[in-house]
Structure 1
Amino acid sequence: MPLAENNLLFGFAPRLTAEQREYVDAIFDYQLVMVNAKAGTGKTTLAVACAKLFKQPLTYIFNPVQESAMGFRPGTQSEKESIYHQPLIDALLEINENPAQCVYNEEALVNEAIRRKVSMKRVMDSIWCYPKTPLFLRGTNLKDMTIIIDECQNFTVQELRKIFTRVHDSCKVICIGHSGQIDIPAAKSGFVPYMEHFRSQPYCKILTLSKNFRGELANWADSFQG
């Protein structure tokens, strides 16, 4: 079933373009949605908003494409990885969620439990977003959750295979990418190849989002063909 007509989707529904409405409805109607979307189209925000409505855990998968340098930067692993969580954080703020209270961060949770003098279980009660990298998915099962694979164009075929082959049918999967902004060697990106691989499957919807809402400068920059 598509998004109900009386569901305002945190205030976004009345303002959705036809493309965005098709995207949102597809998230409700299909197990797998793959969207090739320009920057600033609202792709991550709308995906997170839908995930909130599903009332099940959200696994947000990101790929630290500069992982080789992460070990040399100061800070803990969580602090180094947190820069890749920013699209998720921004999306949560757009739907009036407090990231500090709903995004899993073990170090922050331990500190909060100590500060409040309560158990870890108590501070975990409001957590529903779990950022992960594909580095730690080997041997895991992904079930009974919504999965967002963000910046999907920066995942290789092998990395996407590692994710997809761990997904149970109790999951919804939203793959978000932009084939025009690939930060790894383009020939290694698995985004477009996997879109073509899944295109004929009845449980999958392939979409595009073309309107950048950030403004004239951002749109003109995205049109550069060099």
Structure 2
Amino acid sequence: MPLPKDSMFFGFAARMTEEQRIYVDSIFDNQITFVNAKAGTGKTTLAVAVARMIGKPLVYVISPVEEKRMGFLPGDLKAKESVYFTPLEDALYEIGEDPRKVIYDKENVEAQKRGDVWVYPKSHVYVRGTNVKGKTVIISEAQNFTRGELKKVLTRLHDDCRVIVEGHSEQCDLPDPKKSGFIPYLEHFRNEPYANVCELTVNFRGKLAQHADALTW
């Protein structure tokens, strides 16, 4: 079912554009939603807000573009990946959640005991061989996943998961953008009855960001 009409939706309901409302309703209504969204459109914040309302644990998957460097960065796994999780942390603050309390950290035993933890960020590098059941899954910056990397993630997911694949087709950081799996997988799922494809086109950061995003090559 779509977002209830009487829901305040963390204060976003009255401010959402029609595109954003379609996106939010799609996440509620479909097993998998693809969104091709310009920068500053609120795609991550809205997806995290829906995940909170759905109530399932959230798995937030990122792609470190230079995968081979992950093993050489200083620190443990958390330190290696943390630089990629800023959008997630910002989104959590937007909905009134403290990332320090709700994001899984093996050292934060007390938060786990209290049941505060519901967010599990990870790199696609470490998902092979895993099974993901009963979760909401956000695949972030999907334009930076190759076809093989997206296949690796999507084939880990069981049918009781709710999936959001968010990306911006014009901002690919791969050395060869033609290897991106985002648009190929978006089109691959487009006509499936359990899938939906959305677009977000309004950049709310302002005229500077809007004008910068308008340049294509």
TM-score interval w.r.t. the shorter chain? over 0.9
Map residues 73-152 of structure 1 onto 2, 5 A cutoff: 73-107=73-107, 109=108, 113=109, 121-122=112-113, 125-152=115-142
Which residue number corresponds to residue 164 of structure 1?
154
Shift in Å at residue 69 of structure 1? 2.9
Map residues 36-51 of structure 1 onto 2, 5 A cutoff: 36-51=36-51
Query: In structure 1, the residue corresponding to 2:27 is in which secondary structure?
Result: helix
Which residue number corresponds to residue 155 of structure 1?
145
Give percent identity, aligned residues only: 53
Greater C-alpha radius of gyration: 1
Report the Cα distance in structure 2 between the residues aligned to 1:102 and 1:17, rounded to whole angstroms: 28
Shift in Å at residue 7 of structure 1? 0.8
Q: Which runs of 4+ in 1 moved over 6 A?
A: none
Shift in Å at residue 71 of structure 1? 3.6
How far does the alpha carbon of each residue in 1:102-161 deviate from its partner, in whole angstroms, 9 at most, with x for none? 001224x2xxx4xxxx6x8526x2100000111111121111010000000000111111
Report the Cα distance in structure 1 between the residues aligned to 2:90 and 2:184, rounded to whole angstroms: 29
Report the Cα distance in structure 2 between the residues aligned to 1:73 and 1:130, rounded to whole angstroms: 21
The reply on whether 1:173 has 2:143 as its aligned counterpart is no
The reply on whether 1:22 has 2:22 as its aligned counterpart is yes
Map residues 3-14 of structure 1 onto 2, 5 A cutoff: 3-14=3-14
Q: Is the 8 A contact 2:37 2:199 kept in 1?
A: yes
Question: What residue ranges of structure 1 are gaps of 5+ in the alignment?
Answer: none
With the length of structure 1 as denominator, give the TM-score of the two structures.
0.92
Report the Cα distance in structure 2 between the residues aligned to 1:84 and 1:132, rounded to whole angstroms: 9
With the length of structure 2 as denominator, give the TM-score of the two structures.
0.95
- Once superposed, what is the RMSD of the aligned Cα atoms? 1.4
Query: In structure 2, the residue corresponding to 1:51 is in which secondary structure?
Result: helix
